[in-house]
Amino acid sequence: ETGVTQSPTHLIKTRGQQVTLRCSSQSGHNTVSWYQQALGQGPQFIFQYYREEENGRGNFPPRFSGLQFPNYSSELNVNALELDDSALYLCASSLGPTPYEQYFGPGTRLTVT
Amino acid sequence: QQQVKQSPQSLIVQKGGISIINCAYENTAFDYFPWYQQFPGKGPALLIAIRPDVSEKKEGRFTISFNKSAKQFSLHIMDSQPGDSATYFCAAWGNQGGKLIFGQGTELSVKP
């Protein structure tokens, strides 16, 4: 059984650019949730995908968008990057759209300059 | 009403001591309260969780105490070890489209 993996590990982008982050869910899990964790803060929920459909969204602007593929892996896309988007982006997978047994990946550290 | 407030922000405990981290919430619709442990460079890992129909849950050295009337819950780490040094997050969930609400985190340092 493989755990949750994310790529890339680190990323540096310039303000105004676009970025795509990737997440492979744990084997057997059909739900992926994305979180943004600013330095020294708790993770903040961005959105969740369940069986390829968005199943809830946090307080993030539309320039944050996502996708889930038939194999349940997922992408997070951020357009028009701002300096405040610099953070650790975490994905978590689970079996079903519940918080129970939600397993997090190691995250992607995004720096916007 | 969607917030989870966590304290203290940082905590230093001697090896063998008890570490206590507290959280408070407002939304009575929350019905699942997990605690996560995060080491530097890693994602959060589920440590222990409780539902509001139980006042206490213990797993090894980790205990959650839950006070539904006060809308507070806490994590106790007994016999704290240097390997427990990490950031701890409380969280709450209430069937709101997958939204897990996290506290601000507590950085625990256990001194040998």
- Check pLDDT > 60 for residue A4: yes
B6–A33 C-beta distance less than 8 A: no
Across the interface, of A58, A99, A107, the residue whose CB is closest to B43 is A107
How crowded is residue A60: how many other Cβ atoms within 10 Å of its Cβ? 16
- Check pLDDT > 90 for residue A101: no
For testing the chain A interface, which of B39, B100, B106, B107 should be mutated: the one with the most A CBs within 10 Å? B100
> In which residue ranges of chain B is pLDDT below 50?
none
d(CA B60, CA B54): 17
**Which residues of chain A neighbour B93 with C-beta distances below 8 Å?**
98-99
What is the overall mean pLDDT for chain A? 93
- Whether B57 contacts B51, CB under 8 Å: no
Across the interface, of B42, B93, B103, the residue whose CB is closest to A99 is B93
- Whether B2 contacts B19, CB under 8 Å: no
Minimal CA–CA distance to B52: which of B36, B68, B73? B68
pLDDT at A28: 87
Residue A27 token pair: 């084997």
d(CA A68, CA A76): 9
C-alpha distances (whole Å) from A5 to each of A32, A73, A106, B65 are 12, 10, 7, 33
Distance from CA of A95 to the nearest CA of B (A): 12
A72-100 pLDDT, tens digit per residue, is 999 999 999 999 999 999 999 998 887 77
**Which residues of chain B neighbour A42 with C-beta distances below 8 Å?**
6, 89, 91, 102-105
- Check pLDDT > 60 for residue A1: no
pLDDT at A102: 86
A30-55 pLDDT, tens digit per residue, is 999 999 999 989 999 999 999 999 98
d(CA B9, CA A45): 21
- Whether B74 contacts B65, CB under 8 Å: yes
